[in-house]
Amino acid sequence: MSTCDPSSQLLQGGLTAVPGFFAAGLSSGIKKGGLADLALIYADTPCRVAGLFTQNQFCAAPLQLNKRHLEKGLGRAIVVNSGNANAFTGAQGMRDAEAMARAAAQSLGLPVDAVYVASTGVIGERLPLRRILEAVPKLCAALSDSGSAAAAKAIMTTDTFQKETAWEASVGAQRIRVGGIAKGSGMIHPNMATMLAFLATDVAMETALLQDALREAVNYSFNCVTIDGDTSTSDMALLFANGKKGHLIRTKDLRYRQFVALLKAACLALAKMLVRDGEGATKLIAIEVSGAKDRAAAQKIASSIARSLLVKTAFFGEDANWGRIVAAIGNAQVPVLEKEVDLSFGPTQLLRGGAYLGRDAEASVSYYLKRGEIELHVGLRSGEGSATVWTSDLSFDYVKINASYRS
């Protein structure tokens, strides 16, 4: 899926590759063993802000605070802790989230509603607020224009590597940048919010358009990845735009489209990292469905395959078990005829018009399945709709990690 124009370019530096943004990360003692657990992102000028939040009924306290701050559509900083989600913590949780924002606002000399907060980790335990408040001044002092990696590291939970990306592309006459950091691992599933993602850009765009751009980019990236089908109470994406480059984009013109393509590229890069780092994942699997009635039908089918535990364990076993894949296609609640199903693994077709192409093709697929990156293509004959969903396999380690996460 080409999501970006040919002039787009992958950069080093993550979120702080965007001029005007600073970041830091350190250990405040929430996590044991001196692991980094507190991050700060700071913009040296006021930004327009777009945000998307979990659809879980129990939206965690920090998200509720952010939604309030987002009403003005402006912001300067994001303070994030890992190790504790401050979720299902009632009125106390709300007070703790406010105290966390207030501490950062005071240290940075900002109004409190310019500060956004995020918390990720165990649900239902009170935030260790004192540790956070004590660490905030040090965190502010550590802000740096090369701090993206430190911040990316501090927001990790069961992630095994930090996730950051930076892209540049032409938007109108300007070269615009988008940089971001994210954390995932477990509970990765479509329907926003599927993770924490913090994105920065120097584009100048009206807030309502910025929100539309974020929604569009997220729908084609974070909402197209699934690991275990769970949705967390804490997940969100925030996009800060400092407007340092070019004239304000006010309509959905060519520049808007160019920016969305750039934002998609950045979000997709982060989303794929989330899948690759899914708990216990040994394979990154792209499931492409084409020829469906429309995009929604294609996405339903791709998601049904991506979510099937039987399919995911078969990929872990490197078994060309196409029967489970067709069973998953049949479970998508989309009308499909058996004789209209094509199925290919990478370059090798295994089903054509519903007919199995034989042991030789299957042997070649079995060989292909030993790779770490797998492409599965489902072709239908119902229309022009297509969609791609990324997922991981389901391994022993998924069970191991999640059976013992809290202890």
Catalytic machinery residues: 194
Residue-by-residue DSSP string for 355-382 = EE--HHHHHHHHHHTTSSEEEEEEE-SS
Considering only 65-73, 107-115, 290-298, 301-309, which stretch makes contact with a copy of itself by CB under 8 A? 301-309
Considering only 16-24, 160-168, 224-232, 254-262, which stretch makes contact with a copy of itself by CB under 8 A? 224-232
Considering only 139-147, 203-211, 380-388, 398-406, which stretch makes contact with a copy of itself by CB under 8 A? 398-406
Does 319 interact with a copy of itself (rule: CB under 8 A)?
A: yes
Quote the CA–CA distance of 58 and 191 in Å, as a whole number.
15
Does 201 interact with a copy of itself (rule: CB under 8 A)?
A: no
- Contacts of 326-334 with CB under 8 Å at 24 or more apart are 326/351, 328/304, 329/301, 329/304, 329/305, 329/378, 331/304, 332/297, 332/300, 332/301, 332/303, 332/304, 332/305, 333/300, 334/292, 334/293, 334/297, 334/300, 334/301
Q: How many residues bind a copy of itself (CB under 8 A)?
A: 61
Q: Give the full edge-to-edge strand order of the sheet including 284-292.
A: 225-226, 385-392, 284-292, 373-379, 342-345, 348-352, 355-356
| Contacts of a copy of itself in 87-146 (CB under 8 A) | 87-88, 90, 122-125
- Which residues have CB under 8 Å from 294's CB, separation 6+? 383, 384, 385
Does 406 interact with a copy of itself (rule: CB under 8 A)?
A: yes
Does 308 interact with a copy of itself (rule: CB under 8 A)?
A: yes
Does 326 interact with a copy of itself (rule: CB under 8 A)?
A: yes
Q: Could you tell me the smallest distance in angstroms from the CB atom of residue 66 to a copy of itself? A: 17
Q: Could you tell me the smallest distance in angstroms from the CB atom of residue 123 to a copy of itself? A: 3
Does 384 interact with a copy of itself (rule: CB under 8 A)?
A: no
Contact 300, 214 (CB under 8 A): no
Residue numbers of the site for a copy of itself (CB under 8 A)?
A: 55-58, 85, 87-88, 90, 122-125, 186-187, 228-233, 307-310, 313-314, 316-317, 319, 321-324, 326-336, 338-339, 354-356, 394-396, 398-400, 402-407
